[in-house]
Structure formats: C-alpha cells, structure tokens
Amino acid sequence: MFKNSPLLLYDLWSERHLITELVCGAINWDTSIFVDTFPSPGEEVTANKVISVPGGKGANVAVASARILSSGVGIIGALGNDEIAEKQIKILHEEGIDTSCVKNIQGTSSGQAYILVDKKCENFILTYKAANHMLTADMVNDNNTVNAIKNSKLITVIDPPLEVADALISNANTNGKMVVWSPAMLVRHGFDSLKELLLKTDYVIVNESESSLLSGINDATKACLALSKMLEGRRVITTLGKEGCVFCWQTKTARIPALDLSSLNLQVINTVGAGDAFVGAFAALKTKGFDDVEALFMANIAGSLKTTKEETRGSPRYDEIRHYLDDQRVQSSFAKIYVV
C-alpha cells in the first residue's frame, strides 16, 4: 500500500525540506485518575492509578503533527505565569515544536484538566481553561503570528475562543492557506453563528454529537453529508471513535475504517487524546501531500494507536504508522474503502 504511489516521492522529498504547520488550541496539564467504576454522587471509590502528564487539545494536535512531520510545526496558544508554563514550553521544545507564538498571560495560571477513566476506558473530563480562555484576537493579530501564518502551508484550529478562531481562519483564508478546523465546544454557538467561518475552512472535523448539533440530524453519515451540503460542498469529516470516520464532500461519501486493534493483539488503555492524535496526524499528512482518503486512513491508525497508551499525548511517530501500513490485514482494510 502506497509503496509505488507517486505521493511517496513527494513524501520522501518533504522530509528534507522545511514544512510549516501552525496549530492553535489549548495547552493543559492533565491529571488522569484510573478507576474501576465511576462514583455515584456522594460515593467514594478507590483510584487504581494517577498520572500527571502534558495535554490540551492544541498541544496534543501539535505534538501529533510534529511526530509525523519531524520539524516545522508551531503552536499558537496561551500559558500562565507559573511552573506549569515552564514545563510545557520545555516539553514542546523537546518535541521540536516552535513556541514563539505562545502568549504568556501574567497574573493567571496555566490550563489544567482532570480526567477520570474507568476500566471500560470511558471518561469524564473537567477542564480549567485559565490562560487558554484569555487568548484574544488582538494577541493573534500581532506581527509575529501574522508572519507565521503567511509563511505556513496549513493552519489547524481546534479549540480557542471563537474570536481567536475567527481571526486566525480569516487571516489564513485571506493568505490562501489550507485550513483544518475542529470547532469542538464552539458548536454550541449553532450553525448559523458559525457558517460564515466554516465556509472559510477547507476541512471541518467534528465528532458524532457535534455533527448532529450542527446539522440537526442524528444519523452520523446523513448528518455529515447534510453538513457538507449546508457548507456548499465543503469537506466534512465526522469521527466515529472505534468505527473510524465518515468523510463527505459535494454529494460524495466515504467510510474510512479504524485500525482493528484486536487483530493486531493490541489493547485499548485510554481513549483520551485519540481525537487529537487523529486531527494532528491528518493535518500533518495533508501537509506532506497525501490525498484525503489516504490521509484519513493513516490518521485513523494514529488515533487507534494512541488509545493503546496511558498518556494523553500518546500519538505515534510516522515510522510506527508506516509499520502498520505494511501489514496485509491493514492493507486489506484500506482496499475495501469505496466512495459513493
């Protein structure tokens, strides 16, 4: 699979040149608590394990992209004036990520998240946005960020405040950059409020509930197709968890399967961050020049492999993804994809 593809030549060429992708979103410190069952109100349960790791959708996506692109990934975000900020910057640098567009918000703390994971790998997440929520349009309209956008190939926007998403997407659109937007909680503003901005986006990525909320349709495939139609044929990707994703554009639909972990003797440990790994991998693979279906199939592999890791930023490196692409069972799954 892909071995004789002309795209592979571009892929190998791109490894030797600077590829720039900018990601905007939250940078959090995650405390994950693993339990057998979730407590009922007023009930106390025993925690089996507690881990403290870096997270946040924006940083998770940036790391997932950097592990595929190797270099040229930058992040736009906000941190407070505390020890967490110092740790986050150090860790991002170790991943090869440019943090020159990260704003330091004085007098506030960095974002944090508290995650409860049960033995079924279901989870509850409580997020304290802190500095993340204080990022403003003025902050991302500064010369440094504007120049970074002009020099980039692709902008990925995942969960900043709406005014920030608007400023970045509009700027990227004006400069002819490819835009990937995962509006996440911003879908609560409703389709009418987001439509103008969605129309400036090349790829819209939503999960099942977000797709349903925007389209008013419960069936995931029908909702994805309807949303694409509502956006004048824009490319819409609806993630389906362990079922992979559905991809719609114009009047066309493709169902992209997830990696079958059980067939590879792999086990799900923690699904938190899997969607971020998917988004980061997809954006990076589009930057590399893969076509949509190829990029989505490989992004599904990245998201699936992340679930086998405890840490939130457990996204795989490019070599690991390609290792699974060489497996005949995985190639057979890709061969079954069809467009209707």
Instruction: Please give the average per-residue pLDDT across 193-217, as a whole number.
Output: 96
pLDDT > 70? residue 201: yes
What pLDDT, on the 0 to 100 scale, is given for residue 18?
55
Residue percentage of the chain with pLDDT more than 90: 81
Give the pairing type, strands 28-35 and 154-157: unpaired
Can you list the domains of the chain with their CATH numbers? 6-36+49-335 (3.40.1190.20)
What pLDDT, on the 0 to 100 scale, is given for residue 16?
36
pTM: 0.91
The average confidence (pLDDT) of the chain is 91
Question: 263-315: per-residue pLDDT in tens?
Answer: 999 999 999 999 999 999 999 999 999 999 999 999 999 999 999 998 999 99
Instruction: Please give the average per-residue pLDDT across 180-194, as a whole number.
Output: 95
pLDDT > 60? residue 15: no
What pLDDT, on the 0 to 100 scale, is given for residue 2?
44
Closest among 103, 104, 31, 91 to 59, alpha carbons compared: 91
Give the pairing type, strands 252-256 and 235-239: unpaired
pLDDT > 50? residue 8: no
Place of tokens 């719609």: 248
292, burial (CB in 10 Å: exposed 0-12, middle 13-18, buried 19+): middle
Task: Give how far Cα 19 sits from Cα of 70, 179, 280, Å.
Answer: 9, 15, 14
